[in-house]
Amino acid sequence: MGGHAPDRDSDGLAASARAALVRRIDASGAWAADPVWREAFAAVPRHLFVPYYYVGVAGGYERRWGESPDPEARERWLGGAYEDTPLATRLRDGELLSSSSQPSLMADMLAALRVKDGNTVLEIGAGTGYNAALLAHRLGDDHVTTVDLDPEITESARRHLAAAGYHPVVVTGDGARGVPERAPFDRIIATCALCTVPRAWLAQSRPGGRILMPLATGLVVLTVSDAEHAEGRFLHTPAYFVPLRGGSRPGGEPLQLGGVPRRAREDDLFRFLLALTRGSLDPQEAHALWEQEGRPQRERYGITVSGDREWAWLDDPEGPYAWPLPS
């Protein structure tokens, strides 16, 4: 916290806030499938990875800063660093470029990755370095590689990681291309949104490896067979991430939802189907399917990659409901 002497012991405050965050994540059941992650979250100091962040206020953002001369402001910064919320960490012209994800969502994703001792992991999107620190705490520095396109982001991630005592490999480069010089990987996890599966990731994965990535406001977990084939289903968890820069990006013109009932337009699961089938179904067709199939949960959807083909599906990869993803 710099040269300032807070009115209260900042280390004690951080430890107490971190313990409270762990209890909240515990209560959410996020790491029920792999409770070993509890120890990593209890040990890694999130506040060292967010020396400042932005909080939305009327008319824009308010910057919270660990070096503020105001002790109360520093205490608000420290408390906010351990809230179970995403934190905006980098803005440019009002556009969010980077953030620290919601810790309980990070726990969900890490548990779903199903890492084992000795696994090598590639993280796409270095962010603040906090997720890489959690991975390094669990697996060891040499088993973790994180990549980001923006040299300012990778440099700050290195500083944050070093301050917390972790030294995974941090690479500046296009995440869509992976990090071939560090391949093969047992696991790949992306913390930025895509609209297609980069083939480089399959080529850099060991057979049987897992890829976890945000796509269409969901999280899909793929099992890799070889450099040309992967398949898997979505988790139940909704997920909204900053798009990957340098690779395929979600986007396009706003959909025209005329004729779709307001209840459906505002339903998260319907909007997931809209995002997944964009370019294949118009909103009215998507709504008819959604109602006909009982408003399906995310877990009923999946993704298949086979050679130069890539498609989303409902219930069965070879069933009647399948939609090509952008190439």
**What is the crossing angle of helices 71-81 and 10-28, to 10°?**
30
Active-site residue, 98 included = yes
Residues in the chain: 327
Beta-carbon contacts of 172 under 8 Å, excluding residues fewer than 6 positions away, are: 147, 148, 149, 150, 151, 154
For residue 247, which amino acid is it? G
Beta-carbon contacts of 155 under 8 Å, excluding residues fewer than 6 positions away, are: none
Using the predicted structure, report yes or no on whether residue 4 has a pLDDT greater than 50. no
Contact 186, 163 (CB under 8 A): no
Distance CA 285, CA 274 (A): 10
Number of other residues whose CB lies within 10 A of the CB of residue 120: 20
User: What is the pTM assigned to this prediction?
Assistant: 0.92
Average pLDDT over residues 83-98: 83
**pLDDT tens digits, residue range 34-55?**
999 999 999 999 999 999 999 8
Please tell me which residue in 10, 68, 98, 104 is annotated as part of the active site. Answer: 98
Distance CA 273, CA 295 (A): 10
**pLDDT tens digits, residue range 59-69?**
778 899 999 99
The mean of the pLDDT values for the chain is 91
Contact 308, 320 (CB under 8 A): no
Examine residue 51 and say whether the peptide bond preceding it is cis (omega within 30 degrees of 0): no
Domain boundaries, the chain: 10-192, 262-324
**pLDDT tens digits, residue range 124-172?**
999 999 999 999 999 999 999 999 999 999 999 999 999 999 999 999 9
Q: Tokens 């100091």 sit at which residue?
A: 45
For residue 147, the SS3 value is strand
**pLDDT tens digits, residue range 282-315?**
999 999 999 999 999 999 999 999 999 999 999 9
For residue 41, the SS3 value is helix
Task: Classify domain 10-192 by CATH number.
Answer: 3.40.50.150
